[in-house]
Amino acid sequence: MNRLNERLRLLPPDSLGQLMRGIEKESLRSRPDGALADTPHPPALGSALTHPSITTDFSESQLELITGVHASAAACLAELTEIHQFVLRNIGDEVLWASSMPCGLPADELIPIGRYGSSNVGQAKTVYRNGLSWRYGRRMQTISGIHYNFSLPESAWDALGREAGRDGAEHALRNETYFALIRNFRRQSWLLLYLFGASPAVCSSFLAGQPHTLQPLGNGSLYLPHATSLRMGPLGYQSDAQAALAVSFNCLDSYSASLSRALTQSYPAYEAIGLRDGNGYRQLATSLLQIENEFYGTIRPKRTIRSGERPLRALAARGVEYVEVRCLDLDPFHAIGVDERMPHFLDVFLLHCLLADSPPDTPEEIAAMSRNQHLVAQRGREPGLVLRRGQQELPLQDWGRAILRECAPIAEALDAATGGAGLHRGALAEAQARLDDPSRTPSARVLREMTQHYADSFPRFGLARSLAHRRELLAMPASAQLLERYARIAKESLEEQRRIEAADTLPFEEYRRRYIAGELAPGS
């Protein structure tokens, strides 16, 4: 704790006031009756391949809305709201599904995979999704979430460099610091599932014909009584094949080595799927991972990549630029899927992870972290739940309170640096209240609302929230200038896609082979 406070005091107030963040929000497009929309990505939204703010994730029906990088949480949320306002005016009578767990789904093979045009890069994106479909099924890929991107400003690196007696611009220093953050985050990310998890129930269509341990709840719904985030449990983004990786985050080299093996060594089960399907492709490669993004994790080290560049090559060449938090559910009680307190809490929590001591991880600790994640995802509000910390068994509430106590001076420093409005301390106080009273958590509120107002029906609850969000966002003022700006960006993105398609010269198989081998020149 003393070490944490010493490092906190080293950071100048202007750096604390200039933390950088961005949000990526996934949402399924649903019909007004709550079934998955089967319409193509609307042309009015632009090109899913090239639009900077509006794209698709796995499915053609799964939007991904992306903000720019902002030095304030308020600006980030304001941009996300604007994107929603434009989208809802251009998807007809469809809605954005309010929950992380999907709306009513058709048969697996009828869930449409994202399409990105005829260019090599566009075809590669679709083939990658074909591979996900063959490997994991399409249902799992329709789960949606919030990704939170976080980085320190340059002035913070100058201070951290002076403390370490090194140049703050050094790639090595930044890599070491971000990987220390990642290790601590992985140790403590269960707390985010408890505080912000909002997926304790699912539509029974999600598990049609599949074995599971969920309990029936009302008509067409399944749940676990103390679950926080089924999205982050065994039903969500999980892979038995990837579980054997036990990726170490002790440094960039160990992380890269773990993923490089998974990207280059053929995997028998995926060899059996095969690469080609007649003239088409089933997957990009038969290795354990087709590309780096296939690796499921609660957090990733990231670097902006250039066209044709592999993410691991970018990290090796230019170092870690930011971290991407990937374990956050959509909040069905907020129109844009994000509780306004969430970014303020995350900034405090991520700074705590960065400033606290962060010993190396071990295979035993990696296994314990996975167990803790699944316990909290499925049983997080269960009275007396015990987690594993090092060699200790510790009640969830005790461990959570200890983390929040250590976060208190960080919240105070951030509030002082950002105008003293108390938003960070307020977010911390609400987190404390949720620890003390599990009924205040979003997951408990979801179940309570389902029971009291929707006859224990997750589909009815999800649709009601989705329609309410649509009404709320359409009722908000949206200037003609704002709508014209997004319409212009959409048009420009379609023109950019056509330029990319016209410029292609390589046959797709040659492009695929070179990309997988890392032989494409950046910008290709």
Q: What is the pLDDT of residue 54?
A: 98
d(CA 301, CA 315): 8
Which residues, listed in sequence order, are joined to residue 215 by a DSSP beta bridge? 223
Angle between helices 120-136 and 508-517 (to 10 degrees): 70
Q: Where are the domains of the chain?
A: 2-517
- Band of pLDDT at residue 521, cut at 50, 70 and 90: low
Give the whole-number percent of the chain exceeding pLDDT 90: 87
Helices and strands, number each (H, E), in the chain: 20, 14
Q: Is the pTM value of this prediction over 0.75?
A: yes
37-63 confidence digits (pLDDT tens): 999 999 999 999 999 999 999 999 999
pLDDT at 318 > cutoff 70: yes
What's the pLDDT at 519? 85
Give the separation between CA 195 and CA 199, rounded to whole angstroms: 12
- Residues 453-478: pLDDT tens digits? 999 999 999 999 999 999 999 999 99
Q: What's the mean per-residue pLDDT of the chain?
A: 94
Confidence category of residue 242, pLDDT binned at 50, 70, 90: confident
Enter the CATH code of domain 2-517.
3.30.590.20
Calpha distance 237→79 (Å, rounded)? 28
Residue 235 has pLDDT above 90, yes or no: no
The whole-angstrom separation of Cα 458 and Cα 440 is: 19
Q: What average pLDDT score do residues 479-490 get?
A: 97
Q: Are strands 392-395 and 201-203 parallel, antiparallel or unpaired?
A: unpaired
Give mean pLDDT, residues 105-124: 96
At residue 522, the pLDDT reads: 62
The pLDDT tens digits for 257-274 are 999 999 998 899 999 999
Q: Are 294 and 132 in contact (CB under 8 A)?
A: yes
- As a whole number, mean pLDDT of residues 365-369 equals 93
Q: What is the DSSP string of 337-382?
A: S--THHHHHHHHHHHHHHHS--PPP-HHHHHHHHHHHHHHHHHTTS
In terms of Cα–Cα distance, which of 60, 202, 83 is closest to 133? 60
Per-residue model confidence (pLDDT) at position 237:
63
